[in-house]
């Protein structure tokens, strides 16, 4: 079985860099990629009654939008480069969900970009990259 790399992807330049890096590594090793797009979501957040009513509708819309506008073009572009690739959209805490995906799919590596923020907020709350560096169960490459 060939290697599998999970690539965290949103539409940021940083995640584009991570994807490019992953493609470069995958080509010589013959690894396949799993492009993961995680929408930040907490089941413990507070919503108004109207938001509850529309939640299922909004979620469907968000997933559709993410698939058609974000993931489909990237998957097509990556395939053109001769790399085997799948895509997945999930809701949850970004770091936890990436770890979960990597574990379930038996991935060899998680590859992600970083925003480079080093302000107070990033120090207090941490970032996805630093959480993964701490907790990832597989090798984790943070692409600068």
Partner 1 sequence: MKNNSFNRAVLAAGPALLALSGIAQAQPGDLDDKVNQIFSSSTGWFVNLIFAPFPGTTFPWIVAWLVIGATVFTLYFGFVQFRAVGHAIALVKGDYSDPDDAGEVSHFQALATALSGTVGLGNIAGVAVAVGIGGPGATFWMILAGLMGMASKFTECTLGVKYRNEYEDGRVSGGPMYYLTKGFAERGLPGGKVLAVMFSVFCILGALGGGNMFQANQAHQQISGIVGDYPGWITGLVFAAVVFAVIVGGIKSIARVTEKVVPFMGILYVGAALIILAVNYNHIGWAFGQIFEGAFTGLGVAGGFVGALIQGFKRAAFSNEAGVGSAAIAHSAVRTKEPITEGFVSLLEPFIDTVVICTMTALVIIITGQLVAGPDGNYLLNEAGTMIQTVDGNSGVSLTSAAFGSAISWFPYVLALAVVLFAFSTMISWSYYGLKAWTFLFGEGETTELVFKVIFCVFVVIGAAANLGPVIDFSDAAIFAMAVVNIIGLYFLMPIVKRELNSYVSRLKSGEIRKFA
Interface residues with partner 1 (CB under 8 A) are 39, 41, 43-57, 59-60, 62-63, 90-92, 97, 100
Nearer to partner 1, 11 or 53 (CB): 53
CB of 52 to partner 1, least distance (A): 4
CB of 25 to partner 1, least distance (A): 29
Helix (H), strand (E) counts: the chain: 6, 5
Distance CA 104, CA 98 (A): 10
Residue 12 DSSP code = S
Nearer to partner 1, 24 or 103 (CB): 103
CB of 82 to partner 1, least distance (A): 31
Nearer to partner 1, 45 or 118 (CB): 45
Distance CA 30, CA 65 (A): 30
The residues, any chain, with a CB within 8 Å of residue 130's CB and separated by 6 or more, are 122
């Amino acid at each position: 079985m060939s290697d599998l790399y999970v690539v965290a992807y949103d539409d940021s330049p940083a995640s584009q860099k991570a994807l490019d890096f992953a493609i470069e590594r995958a080509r010589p090793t013959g690894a396949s990629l799993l492009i993961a797009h995680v929408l930040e979501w907490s089941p413990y957040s507070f919503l108004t009654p109207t938001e509850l009513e529309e939640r299922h509708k909004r979620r469907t819309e968000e997933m559709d939008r993410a698939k058609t506008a974000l993931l489909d073009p990237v998957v097509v572009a990556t395939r053109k480069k001769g790399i085997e690739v799948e895509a997945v959209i999930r809701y949850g805490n970004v770091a936890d969900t990436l770890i979960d995906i990597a574990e379930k799919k038996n991935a060899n590596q998680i590859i992600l970009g970083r925003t480079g923020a080093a302000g107070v907020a990033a120090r207090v709350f941490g970032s996805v990259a630093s959480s993964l560096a701490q907790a990832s169960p597989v090798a984790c490459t943070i692409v600068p």
